[in-house]
Amino acid sequence: MNGFSLFLLIMLAIIVGIIFYLIAIYNKLVRLRNQYQNSFAQIDVQLKRRYDLIPNLVETAKAYLAHERETLEAVIAARNSAVTANQGASAGHMGAMIQAESGLSQALGRFFALAENYPDLKANQNMAQLSEELTSTENKISFARQAYNDSVMTYNTAIESFPDLYIARPFNFTEADLWEIEDAEEREPVKVSFS
C-alpha cells in the first residue's frame, strides 16, 4: 500500500467517523425533544383528570353553596377556559395554557376557602373523597410540571451547546418553553382540607 492510498483510507475513516458523530448528535436531539414532549403529555393526562374531577366537586357542593353561585360559576368558567387553552397548547408553546391554569388554580383556591365555612359540606363523604382525589391530582401535576421543566432544560441546553447547535439549527430544533408560574400565589398547589 502506497502513502497516497493510506492517506485516502485515513481520510475516508475520518469522514465516516464525522458522519456517525453527526448522526449521534441528531439522534440525541430527537430523543431529548421526544422526552420533553412526553413530559408535556404527562402533565396533560393529570390536567384532564383534574378537569374531570372539578364538575363532580362543584355538583357535590351545589346543594350546600346554593347562595354562593358566583364562586361555583367562576370555578366552572375557569375550568372550561383551561380545557380550551389545553386543547390549543403544544409542548414547548403553551403561554395561554399556563395563564388559564393559573386562573383555574385561583378559582379553586377561592372555592375551597369558601367551602371551609360549611361544616355540612366538609362532612359530606363525596366531597371528602373528591377533595382527596383533587389533592392527589394537584400533587401529580406539580411533579409532572417539574419533570417537564427538567426535560425542557436538558433539551434547550443541548440545542444551544456546541457542536449540537450546528445540527439543531438546520433541522429546526427550536427552543421549548418552560412551564413558568408568574403569580406567586400559583406556586402553591391547591390546598384542600375538610378535616
Is 90 exceeded by the pLDDT of residue 73? no
Mean pLDDT for the chain overall: 81
Residue 8's alpha-carbon distances to 11, 12, 17, 21, 106, in angstroms, are: 5, 6, 14, 20, 68
Q: Rounded CA gap, 174 and 132, in Å?
A: 39
Percent of the chain scored above 70 by pLDDT?
84
CB atoms within 10 A of CB 168: 23
Q: Please report, as a single letter, which amino acid is at residue 111.
A: F
| Size of the chain in residues | 195
Q: pLDDT band for 153, please (50, 70, 90 cuts).
A: very high
The mean pLDDT value for 100-126 works out to 76
Give pLDDT tens digits for 117-146.
777 766 677 777 777 888 888 888 888 888
Q: Rounded CA gap, 34 and 150, in Å?
A: 13
Torsion sign (Cα): 79, 84, 89, 95:
negative
The mean pLDDT value for 45-62 works out to 82
Q: What is the pLDDT of residue 67?
A: 63
Is 90 exceeded by the pLDDT of residue 51? no
Is 90 exceeded by the pLDDT of residue 17? yes
Is 80 exceeded by the pLDDT of residue 76? yes
The CATH class given to the 3-187 domain equals mainly alpha
Is 60 exceeded by the pLDDT of residue 193? no
For the CA atoms of the chain, what is the radius of gyration?
A: 25
Q: Rounded CA gap, 165 and 158, in Å?
A: 7
